[in-house]
Structures are given as structure tokens and as C-alpha cells.
Amino acid sequence: MDRFVYIILLLGVTFNGAFAASYNEILSPKTEILNSLAVSVLADSDKKESTDLKYVDGFSLRIMGKYHPEKNYNRLPAKFEEIVRPAVWSLSKNSSGISIHFTTNSPVVAAKWKVTRYPRRANMAQIGTSGLDLYCLVDGNWQYVNSAVPSGLENEKTIISDMDTAYKEFIVNLPLYDGVEYVEIGIERGFSISTPKKSTFRTNKPIVFYGTSITQGASASRPGMAYPSIISRKLNVGTMNFGFSGNGRFEESVGKALCETGAGLIVLDCTPNSSPETIKNNAPELIKQIRACNPEIPILLVESIVREYAHFRKSDSSVFGGLKYIESQNQELRNSFLKAVELGMSDIYYLESGDLIGADHEATVDGTHLSDLGMVRIAEKISEKIVEILNLE
């Protein structure tokens, strides 16, 4: 009996194997056909999306956050290559703080853009470094919509789809730590896109921020979360971001650019990058330079935040990044402020670091650079001071 069962089982395995081989042989061509059809459908879908979208050059819309007319997304005009230090010039080609402002009734908003480097930064998200984000004006307030996630040097992304077809006002913020070769905004064919007839932002006298990596946007998760951009949306004012990572040093060469911007207020947030000696030597001279080119422009000096790890370092005031060193930096900034007041300069203002990013020690990514939480907090404190200085409602 056992032998009979064994023979039956053996025949079953053999039959099933042959059937499976035959089945696979029959099915295989059909699978290939189905796979081919699937690829074809996907390709047609891609073509359909591309066919249904039309793209316009960003420069045909309103560009905000730069003061010069050159057709690029650099923060300084070409002549400054011979004026500022090479490091500052290189960083000025990052598009931080620059945005595109437009109105459309399209149910879809897309973007094509090309960046120059696509760098990888350990303390930043790739969207913040090289991507875009989109905001829409809703009931008088700027509301975040979505981000365009980069995947390399050249990118094409649908940012939002399936919207209603009422006209809406948008801004697209450009990368914080990358250069941009071109940006095109895509909408569905049959709909329109244009520059808003009237700017929501007060742009005739922008607020100009000169500072460090934090000012430039480290380490915001996306471009619109750099604190100068948060302030721009919060107050509906035009802003310009002259944050130069590791290179905010109260320099006269950058002061020449500040004088050309037609600013309504200049915020000097260079203290974290500047040694006490640099602050002592450069800050008073920069204040005088700004006053010479525009006697009435308000100037706001901002102290350095205390790096989180500094609270645990017992080093003396000669060691960069320690608590005593930061206290020395801030003291020299205060001395510069008091010196300007003694010289009879008006409209000079000062903001202490005490509560700039909160007191819970949760506002940074790496102990120094700000998370989105830190960016929101510092924007809140600086904007409060700006409202006070400019008597904004």
C-alpha cells in the first residue's frame, strides 16, 4: 500500500511540474504583452501630463527678493564679483529669499527647474537645499500648499493638482543653498497665468537681512521656512536675504550692496560668524557706511543666539562657540550700538538674543542651525521688533 501511495505522489508531482512549465510557457508571452501595455500606458500618461501643461519662464512673472535687473537668480549683481570676497560671491549665487509671484486659475501648478550643484548637506533636507515650495493667498494669509521635491540637477514636478478654477495668488520660493539656472511655472493648457496686477507685498522699501547661515536658511526643511521669508509672509513686506553661510562679517564690501537695495530697514544679524574683534572693528564702520548712503534708514542689530552645546562648555572667551565667547560677541555688538547712539545716530535699534528661539532648547537641528520650529520663533521675535520700528499695523 505504501508503495502504491508513493507512485501516485510521484506521478502527481511530475504532472504538476509539467503543467506548471507548460502554463508558464503559455503565460510568459502574455505577461510580456501585459507588461508592455503597462509601460505604454505609463508612457502615454506622462505624455498626456506633459501635453496638457504649458510652461512659462519665471522671468515673465514677478520676481521678488533681488534688487538688480540681471536675468538670473543671483542675489548680487555681476559687478560684485570684483568687490566682495570669493566666498561671499559664491554664496550670493544661492537663490535664498528669491521667489516668483503670480496669479492663475489653473487646477494644476507645476514647475521645471535646474540647479547648479545639487549639494548634499548633512544638516538640511534636500527640499530646503535645492527644492521649491508653494504658498497660496487664502483669506489674506499665505498658506503653505506643497513642495516640489528635487531629484537631481534638472527637475519637473507637479506641485498641486485637482484645484478649482477660481483665480488664486501664489508664490514659489526658490532653493536656499543652491544656484538656479532656470525656473519655469507650469499650468494646465486652456488656463491663464500672469503677474498680479497689484502686489500683495509692500516692495518699494524692502527689509534687507545681512547675516549668516541661519539667515540664509540653515536648517529649514524647505525654502519658505527661512526666517526672512516667514517675516515677509507674516508682514506682507518685500524682503531680501543677504545671509552668507559662515561669512556674515559686517563687511564694507557687502555694505555697498546694502546701500543699493533701497531698503526700508536693514537687519544686521552677522554676530554669530564674527569674532569679538571683527565686530569691534567692522560693525561701527558698517553702521556709518549705511548712514552715509541713507541718513534715515532704520538699522536693527541682532545678537547671536547661544548655541545649545555652549551651555555645557566651560572654556574661556577665546574659544569659538563657548558660552563666554558668545557673550563676548554680543557685548561687542552692544558696544557698537552704544557708540552709534553716542554719535547722535537715530533709528538704531537693538535686539537681545535671550528669547529669540525659546528657552526649551528644542529649536535647533545640530545645536547651532535652526529647525523649522527655531525659524518660526526667531521670525516671531524679529517681526515684533520690525512692527515696532516701522509702525506697521
- Structural domains of the chain sorted by starting position, each given as residue range(s) with its CATH number in brackets: 56-390 (3.40.50.1110)
For 41, the 3-state DSSP assignment is helix
Q: Residue 62 is which amino acid?
A: R
Most distant CA atoms of the chain, gap in Å: 115
Residue 32's pLDDT is: 39
Q: Residue 249 is which amino acid?
A: R
CA nearest 385: which of 273, 275, 301, 288? 301
Task: Indicate the average pLDDT of the chain.
Answer: 89
Bond from prior residue into 90 cis (ω within 30 degrees of 0): no
Residue 317's pLDDT is: 83
Q: Are the CB atoms for 70 and 63 separated by under 8 Å?
A: no
Q: Where do we find the cell 505609463?
A: 42
Residue 195's pLDDT is: 97
**pTM to 2 decimal places:** 0.87
| Residue range 160-169: mean pLDDT, rounded | 98
Residue 48's pLDDT is: 38
Q: Is the pLDDT of residue 352 over 70?
A: yes
For 17, the 3-state DSSP assignment is helix
Instruction: Measure the CA–CA gap between 187 and 50, rounded to whole angstroms.
Output: 10
Residue 127's pLDDT is: 98
Instruction: Measure the CA–CA gap between 181 and 202, rounded to whole angstroms.
Output: 27
Instruction: Measure the CA–CA gap between 59 and 177, rounded to whole angstroms.
Output: 20
| Residue range 347-376: mean pLDDT, rounded | 97
Residue 51's pLDDT is: 60
Q: Burial letters for 93-112: b for 16+ Cβ neighbours within 10 Å, e otherwise?
A: bbbbbbbbbbbbbbebbbbb
Bond from prior residue into 219 cis (ω within 30 degrees of 0): yes
Instruction: Measure the CA–CA gap between 143 and 93, rounded to whole angstroms.
Output: 28
* Burial of residue 366, with CB atoms counted within 10 A of its CB: 0-12 exposed, 13-18 middle, 19 or more buried: middle
Torsion angles phi and psi, residue 242, rounded to 5: -105, 45
| Residue range 320-334: mean pLDDT, rounded | 95
Residue 8's pLDDT is: 40
Cell numbers describing residue 209:
537681512
Cα 205 to the center of its chain, rounded Å: 22
> Does the CA dihedral 136-141-142-143 come out positive or negative?
negative
Residue 199's pLDDT is: 84
Torsion angle (degrees, nearest 10) of CA 155, 119, 249, 259:
-20
> Does the CA dihedral 314-318-319-325 come out positive or negative?
positive
Which range (46-60, 105-119, 148-162, 169-183) has the least confidence?
46-60
Residue 61's pLDDT is: 98
Residue 19's pLDDT is: 36
Instruction: Measure the CA–CA gap between 218 and 113, rounded to whole angstroms.
Output: 21
Residue 25's pLDDT is: 36
Which range (29-43, 61-75, 182-196) has the least confidence?
29-43
In sequence order, what are the residues at sequence separation of 6 or more whose Cβ sits closer than 8 angstroms to the Cβ of residue 171? 64, 99, 100, 101, 102, 134, 135, 142, 233
